[in-house]
Structure 1
Amino acid sequence: MDIRRQIPAAFQRVERSKYGYNAKQVDQFFQRARVSFENKAEASEKIGSQDVRAVSFDPVKGGYDASVVDAALDRLEDAFARRERDDLIAAEGEDAWLLKIGKLSGVLRGRLHRPDGERFRRPEKKRTRGYNIAEVDALCASLIGYLENDKPLSVDNVRRAAFSEAKGHDSYEEAQVDAFLDRVVELMAAID
């Protein structure tokens, strides 16, 4: 796979008065990712799909358009996930990959099959912001359909999931939902 097709030569910038991603940080990360992908054995910094999923950039006026960079990050993450899958299969066989996917799927299904309104922790303080419970539960229902009934669902739908704000015990704790969705993306990227 040619990683250069996954990363544009230059990203579009937003207007000078609007916020975008810090161009220097973005360029440095994509350069490190390219080196790591193309020369895995020689790269001083090993980057994987999880690193791509977790990267963040500072907002600056006139920076790179976040939606364009995010789309490139999604393609890059998918490329790393495919390589990681192929490397695991080459090193340990397809059964090892299936076992890894099965374990992760089992962990995720355990939470998905909890009753609506009980899938994630609630914030301890009344004024703490969290995610709308019904919206998170609706996505979880779609994930069950994807994992168990072969219903179509794009990994990008999960990556871009956004939930309305709720507060206190009327919400799910953001950090726990986000961590769970990261694992879902990891699984979906490895499968697709």
Structure 2
Amino acid sequence: MTSTFPHARTPKLGYDTRQVEEFLEVARRAFDGTPRAGDPSVTAERIRLTAFGMQKGGYSTSHVDAALERLEDAFAARERQIAARLHGDEAWLREARTTAQVVANRLARADGERFERVNPLVLGYHVKDVDAFGDRLSRYFADGWPIGVDDVRTVTFRSQRGGYRESQVDLVLDAVVDVMLAVR
């Protein structure tokens, strides 16, 4: 039996092989334009937000994550082409600029105040880590400072009690990825 990806070495955890295979099959059909009744819609955003269960000896997480990033890029490029055909390149870029401005406005807030904070007894993202990365993103939007989409996709932050609300930071990072993919 062949495997789509290398497996994690036992007893390490990897992604649930069945879930990965099922998702990739649905994505393949969606990309080919042959979805089955009951298949969920697959978009670049959906790919970015996909999560799999873990199992001992499952698929290597780094290999699957890299494949998902390539798949997201392919879907984003196709979505851009479709939107450009339907609404024109200018409409697509206008939407990307609007999103970029919303993100830039969020990142222009003072350090320690860019995102909502969680209760002091709850763990959130480390404020200084997020603010430092936010400064890099601000330079990207304002001055074209070099930063890659993979830098945004793979950024990690330490935890901190009373830190920034993770879901809010993650939404902004997702918006940054959307903008970066839109202007490629």
Shorter-chain TM band: over 0.9
Q: Following the alignment from structure 2 to structure 1, what is the Cα–Cα distance between the partners of residues 109 and 36?
A: 43
Residue 58 of structure 1 aligns with which residue?
53
2:105 maps to 1:110: yes
2:4 aligned counterpart, secondary structure: coil
What displacement does 1:16 show? 2.1
Residue 158 of structure 2 aligns with which residue?
164
Kindly provide the amino acid, as one letter, of the partner of residue 128 in structure 1. V
Residue 122 of structure 2 aligns with which residue?
128
Residue 21 of structure 1 aligns with which residue?
15
Q: Following the alignment from structure 2 to structure 1, what is the Cα–Cα distance between the partners of residues 93 and 167?
A: 28
2:67 equivalent among 72, 75, 88? 72
Residue 184 of structure 1 aligns with which residue?
176
Q: Following the alignment from structure 2 to structure 1, what is the Cα–Cα distance between the partners of residues 43 and 58?
A: 25
2:78 equivalent among 80, 83, 86? 83
Q: Following the alignment from structure 2 to structure 1, what is the Cα–Cα distance between the partners of residues 146 and 70?
A: 19
Q: Following the alignment from structure 1 to structure 2, what is the Cα–Cα distance between the partners of residues 98 and 105?
A: 10
2:124 aligned counterpart, secondary structure: strand
2:116 aligned counterpart, secondary structure: coil
Residue 39 of structure 1 aligns with which residue?
33
Q: Unpaired segments of 5 or more residues in structure 2?
A: none
RMSD: 1.3
Deviates more, 1:31-40 or 1:113-122: 31-40
**Structure 1 runs of 4+ with >2 Å offset:** 42-46
Q: Following the alignment from structure 1 to structure 2, what is the Cα–Cα distance between the partners of residues 43 and 92?
A: 28
Q: Following the alignment from structure 1 to structure 2, what is the Cα–Cα distance between the partners of residues 182 and 102?
A: 15
1:127 aligned counterpart, secondary structure: coil
2:121 maps to 1:142: no
Q: Following the alignment from structure 1 to structure 2, what is the Cα–Cα distance between the partners of residues 183 and 120?
A: 15
TM-score by length of 1: 0.90
Q: Between the two proteins, what is the percent identity of the paired residues?
A: 39
Q: Following the alignment from structure 2 to structure 1, what is the Cα–Cα distance between the partners of residues 182 and 175?
A: 11
Kindly provide the amino acid, as one letter, of the partner of residue 166 in structure 2. E
Query: How many residue pairs end up in the alignment?
Result: 180
Contact 2:93–2:183 at 8 Å: present in 1 too?
Answer: no
Deviations 1:3-32 (A, max 9, x none): xxxxxx711100120100000000110111
1:140 aligned counterpart, secondary structure: helix
What displacement does 1:179 show? 1.5
